[in-house]
């Protein structure tokens, strides 16, 4: 499973670009749902934290994202938020839906891409948080359906 956020999370380091977001996601996935998380790969569409996300930044990083997806070769990519979705479209082209909604999915590069709300927004709004966790939980079905 390849987790793709738009930009690095709070407290991000090279070995954990999601920072404290990963702490929350992994704790819930492991503790509440019993997921094994040994094969999770964390990434961000942008490699830096700009003051304001500009299309130029997304375009600059998209080649790195495309290469990373080819090298890692995931079966499932969870795309968290609009910045990640736009970067994915820049990286992979027109096969990526232009306005995906949380829960939408498509297939490319031998992987299923599942779109979700931005993990950065889960702490502020109860409905956003509910939808985020619901879609994340839905990912389990994609991994089970795809086999080993």
72-96 pLDDT, tens per residue? Answer: 999 999 999 999 999 999 999 888 9
- pTM for the predicted model, two decimal places: 0.89
Q: What is the mean pLDDT of residues 100-124?
A: 92
* Band of residue 33 on the pLDDT scale cut at 50, 70, 90: confident
Alpha carbon distance 47, 81 (integer Å): 15
Mean pLDDT of the chain, nearest integer: 88
* Band of residue 128 on the pLDDT scale cut at 50, 70, 90: very high
H helix count then E strand count, the chain: 4, 5
User: 146 pLDDT exceeds 60?
Assistant: no
2-5, strands of its sheet edge to edge: 41-44, 2-5, 76-80, 111-116, 105-108
* Band of residue 50 on the pLDDT scale cut at 50, 70, 90: low
The reported pLDDT for the residue numbered 61 is: 84
Task: Look at the block and give the residue holding tokens 């990526």.
Answer: 96
Residue 121 DSSP label: G
The reported pLDDT for the residue numbered 10 is: 92
Burial of 47 (0-12, 13-18, 19+ CB in 10 A): middle
Task: Look at the block and give the residue holding tokens 């109860």.
Answer: 126
């Amino acid at each position: 499973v390849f987790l793709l956020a738009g930009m690095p999370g709070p407290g991000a380091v090279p070995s954990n670009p999601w920072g404290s977001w990963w702490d929350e996601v992994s704790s819930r996935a492991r503790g509440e749902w019993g997921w094994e998380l040994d094969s999770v790969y964390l990434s961000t569409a942008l490699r830096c934290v700009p003051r304001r996300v500009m299309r130029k930044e997304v375009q600059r990083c998209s080649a790195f994202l495309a290469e990373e997806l080819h090298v890692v070769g995931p079966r499932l990519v969870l795309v968290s938020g609009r910045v990640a979705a736009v970067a994915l479209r820049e990286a992979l082209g027109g096969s990526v839906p232009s306005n995906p909604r949380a829960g939408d999915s498509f297939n490319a590069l031998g992987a299923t891409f599942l779109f979700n709300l931005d993990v950065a927004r889960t702490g502020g709004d109860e409905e956003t948080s509910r939808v985020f966790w619901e879609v994340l939980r839905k990912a389990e079905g994609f991994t089970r359906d795809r086999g080993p």
